[in-house]
Chain A
């Protein structure tokens, strides 16, 4: 057996698995999205663009996703950055690791149970009851966009903190000293040295959170209570309740295309941002 043959033999099982469990299913989604719904649900072969023409019927789901996914990512970033900065730059090295691990630990526990905790807190007998006791009445938190945003930030904060921490931790602290020696105030040092150098971490964190949010189902299902729903919730409804496979496939395929387009544009922008910085350094 030649070396090449041996390599192929090693890759073959995984390749076959991906073919049957990923390539085939995704192709089926694409084919079904041009089909029609059967009389009792399911799928009837056809070649029609009807399902795609019908997409506006689920416009609200797409709108909610496209508003709340970027908004949730931004909210997570704004909360995560100061924390990552504090941990990476301002914390005694002795405590760094343990504090970072404490941020990551919740992420290792089920997101289902962590989101469920917020039903408890935001529900009628949680925070609103507490607010009522101090005189603020009629506050509704659960099943609002705010509740979903809180759930998103809570669920994905660790994923945002980690890459930013890594970027800030790698940062050569002598650069900060040099900046202050050259007379820059701390805030200016932050804006002109720390922030630009942490951009790769910020970019990775935002990308990870955004990708996961685009397909989110659990958080809106539990905290949005049918009022604030994402494309993911529409998909569950289409496949498990109304069994409209053709239309569901069109929705799923559209979601993938939207994700690919936004992620590609995003990566281009980030690449350009980095390129710009390199130019500045050369000067």
Chain B
């Protein structure tokens, strides 16, 4: 049994270790180690395509995770007081959002937005003042943020609602009895209690958005995110540069995960 556990951990970590090992390979060839070097890290960090893709990924992940956390939390709080058919419909939508495969969300968003833009663009051009260049709606960073926000907002609602469900109703009632306004109760009682859940939702959303390939592949238009860059590089052949990028991304996610754990652990004690 013990041996079995060791073998499974080896299975989980050997591929990661191999990538990290070869990222320090001095040679170009992926098959044999030819001495230690950090040149691939230097190359990756100096490659403008990599840095552009990284910047796009970080912006999209940050903006969509922020929007998802704020709007998702508001919705989770509002949903508590809503019953009846409207609630059933909303719950069904959240269920659909997390269950539909990312690839279907990607293509559906692509064809819907392209179709809507085709209708709107002539209108915009007609309404725009003579002489000025009318804006053209097209797929890009905006559609990417909108699509990621949709999916991650569903995650935030699920996480925050689970936390809200464990809170004692009595606390909010006590606060109201002490003449706190609803907003005051929310800010001083509810919000501090659900803050760890919101943070967990934010981090999950950020990671999802940063790692997502399939939705971005369809809706990013001419923009390139880091996963899209990595995917197209892999298609062109294995290079040590990808190993270096992969190792950096893994280390960064790990640090983020540890930081999140530390914050979450401190949260409930207050």
Could you list which residues of chain A lie within 8 angstroms of chain B, going by C-beta atoms? 3-4, 6-11, 13-15, 17-18, 20-26, 28-29, 32, 43, 79, 82-83, 86-87, 90, 102-103, 105-106, 108-114, 116-121, 123, 125-126, 129, 154, 157-158, 211-212, 214-218, 222, 232, 235-236, 239-240, 245, 248-249, 252, 255-256, 259, 263
B197 shortest CB reach to chain A, Å? 16
Asked if A255 and B213 sit within 8 Å, CB to CB, the answer is no
Complex CA gap A211/B99 in Å reads 7
Contact A14 B111 (CB under 8 A): no
Are the CB atoms of A82 and B101 closer together than 8 Å?
Answer: no
Which chain A positions have C-beta within 8 A of B104? 26, 29, 215, 235, 252, 255-256
A10 and B77 contacting across the interface, CB-CB below 8 Å = yes
In B175-227, the 8 Å CB interface with A consists of 182, 207, 211, 213-214, 217-218, 227
Contacts of B109 in A (CB 8 A): 21, 25
CB distance from B131 to the nearest CB of A (A): 32
With A10-B75, A121-B18, A235-B107 as known contacts, state yes or no: A21 contacts B82, CB within 8 Å.
no
Most A CB contacts (10 A, CB to CB) among B30, B80, B154, B234 go to: B234
Given A10-B75, A112-B213, A4-B257 contact (CB < 8 Å): no
Interface of A is mostly: helix
Q: How far is the CA of A9 from the CA of B13 in the complex (A)?
A: 48
* Nearest residue, chain A, Cβ from B247: A113
Known contacts: A108-B254, A120-B238. The answer to whether A28 contacts B108 by CB under 8 A is: yes
Q: Out of B2, B81, B207, B230, which one reaches A112, CB within 8 Å?
A: B230
What residues of A have a CB within 8 angstroms of the CB of B99 in the complex? 211, 259, 263
A29 to chain B, nearest CB (A): 5
What residues of B have a CB within 8 angstroms of the CB of A13 in the complex?
71, 74-75
Question: Are the CB atoms of A22 and B74 closer together than 8 Å?
Answer: no
Whether, in the assembled complex, B103 has its beta carbon less than 8 Å from a beta carbon of chain A, the answer is yes
Instruction: Give CA–CA (A29, B115) in the complex, Å.
Output: 11
Sample 22 A-B pairs with CB under 8 A, ordered by A number.
A4-B82, A11-B75, A21-B147, A28-B112, A43-B115, A86-B2, A87-B5, A90-B1, A112-B234, A116-B242, A119-B238, A121-B18, A154-B12, A157-B8, A215-B103, A218-B231, A222-B234, A236-B103, A239-B110, A239-B218, A240-B218, A256-B104
Expressed in whole angstroms, the minimum distance between the Cβ of A230 and any Cβ of chain B is: 9
- Partner among B8, B101, B234, B250 whose Cβ is within 8 Å of the Cβ of A232: B101
CB <8 Å contact, B18 and A117: yes
Q: Looking at the complex, which one of A10, A21, A113, A211 makes contact with B74 (CB distance below 8 Å)?
A: A10
Q: Does B15 contact A (CB under 8 A)?
A: yes
B77 → chain A closest CB, angstroms = 6
Given the known A-B contacts A43-B111, A110-B227, are A214 and B19 also in contact in the complex, defined by CB atoms under 8 Å? Answer: no
CB pair B246 A113 closer than 8 Å: yes
Does A15 lie within 8 Å of B90, measured CB to CB?
yes
Contacts of B1 in A (CB 8 A): 82, 86, 90
Answer whether residue B79 sits at the interface, using C-beta atoms and an 8 A cutoff.
yes
Q: Are A29 and B211 in contact (CB under 8 A)?
A: no
Q: Is the beta-carbon distance between A14 and B5 smaller than 8 angstroms? A: no
Cα A84 to Cα B95 with chains together (Å): 28
Q: A22-B150, A116-B242 are in contact. Are A106 and B257 (CB under 8 A)?
A: no
- Give every chain A residue within 8 A of B11 (Cβ-Cβ): 154
- Report A-chain residues with C-beta under 8 Å of the C-beta of B97: 18, 22
Question: Given A86-B5, A108-B254, are A25 and B108 also a contact pair (CB < 8 Å)?
Answer: yes
B162 interface contact, C-beta 8 A? no
Q: Are A255 and B227 in contact (CB-based, < 8 A)? A: no
Instruction: Write out the residue numbers on chain B whose beta carbons fall within 8 Å of the beta carbon of A6.
Output: 78, 81, 182
Kindly list chain A residues whose C-beta atoms are within 8 Å of the C-beta of B19. Answer: 113, 116-117, 120
**Of B75, B217, B231, B253, which one neighbours A15 at CB under 8 angstroms?**
B75
Give A17 to B148 CA distance when docked, in angstroms. 11
Q: Is B150 a contact of A110 with CB atoms below 8 Å?
A: no
Q: Which of A17, A79, A109, A212 contacts B254 (CB 8 A)?
A: A109
Within 8 A of A (CB), among B88-116: 90, 93-94, 96-97, 99-105, 107-113, 115
